[in-house]
Structure 1
Amino acid sequence: MSGGETNDRRRGSGLARRWEGLNPTRAIVLAVVVSVIALTLAVPLRTYFSQRSQFEQVEASNSQLEEQVADYQRKVQNQDDPAYVKAQARSRLNFVMPGDKPLVLEHPQPPTPSPDQQKAMREAANPWYSNLLQSIATPAGS
């Protein structure tokens, strides 16, 4: 045997002696102490992680609200611009400046489709299998 193997055996036998000499009462007390420490740390850690998650949600909401505030501030600043107000009055309210000629286009109603066209549109809107069943159920002469 070499000197390295003897050291390994001595270490291994020392560890085995420690486990053999371990008092069961001490092992139970040690297990209880470790469990109490683990339970004591578990609740604060869970609280920390839940609060961290809530904090991230609040930060996301806050950034979204800041974007909305910036958008509303731009809109308020646009209201102070006379050119913007004129453009909005023309487009939304159909206002006309003095000297301009108003032109209003009326779109005519599309012609109503004939009954044959209506039937063709209904058939085109149906699924293919419905049209197939209809063609089989309806005699060819009608």
Structure 2
Amino acid sequence: MASDRFSTAARLKAIGQEAQARVYRAAAARRPGRPGRLTGRAALLALVLCALVIALAYPTRQYIAQRSDIADQRREAQQAKKRVEQLREEKARWQDPEYVRTQAREQLHYVMPGEDGYSVAAPTPSAGAPGAHNRGAGSPGDAGGQAAAAAHRPWYANLWDGVDHADAAATPGR
């Protein structure tokens, strides 16, 4: 009986070695013959990865855009706080009667009782003075005061004056 066991064990060992040799030969035969073959698992993995990238692209973009909007809102809030602080300081200055008097004198040209007020007008350049330009395109007397007055009028008033002058020049009977 001992010889039967030994022979069975020896036979099983030999069968296992032969099977192992066949597996190694089959693996070696597969490698060099088909190096670039895509397996089903690899294709499924690639498909799942592509689906994940596509599914996460839009939420990621939205997240980044929202973070940018939050940063902009914080910046605007900081600027608003600075502006509020400036306005509070200005309000505090206007509570001071001396500051109000100073502003009334400078901006509204007020004069305290008993004081003499003076107003100095800027000199107007004469037509022949150096540095004076002829702005008008009409008659020679048009260059001086009318050009300066035209600069201070609204644009539409200047437009209609131009139309009137052109009309007057086109109709000799006027």
TM-score (norm 1): 0.59
Which of 55, 58, 62 is matched with 1:47 structurally? 62
The total of aligned residue pairs comes to: 103
| Structure-2 change in CA distance of 1:107 and 1:39 (3 Å) | closer
Q: What CA distance in whole angstroms lies between the structure 2 residues aligned with 1:27 and 1:92?
A: 81
CA shift in 2, pair 1:67/1:118, >3 Å? closer
2:92 maps to 1:77: yes
Supply the AA of the counterpart residue of 2:81: E
Cα displacement (A) at 1:52? 0.9
Q: 2-side partners of 1:37 and 1:81: how far apart?
A: 67
What is the 5 A alignment of 1:1-142? Answer: 24-113=39-128
**For residues 50 and 111 of structure 2, what CA distance do their matches in structure 1 show?**
82
Q: Work out the CA distance in 2 between the residues paired with 1:80 and 1:41.
A: 58
Comparing both chains, which one has the higher relative contact order based on Cα–Cα distances under 8 Å and sequence gaps of 6 or more?
Answer: 2
Give the 3 Å change call, closer, same or farther, for CA 83–28 of structure 1 in structure 2: same
- Structure 1 residue runs of 5 or longer lacking an equivalent are 1-12, 120-142
- Residue 79 of structure 1 and its aligned partner are, at CA, apart by 1.3
Q: TM-score, normalised by structure 2?
A: 0.49
Aligned residue in 2 for 1:123: none
Identity within the alignment, %: 29
Q: Which runs of 5+ in 2 are unaligned?
A: 1-26, 135-174
Find the residue that maps to 1:45 and give its secondary structure.
Answer: helix
CA deviation string 1:35-84 (max 9, x = no partner): 22222332222111111111111122222222222222222112111011
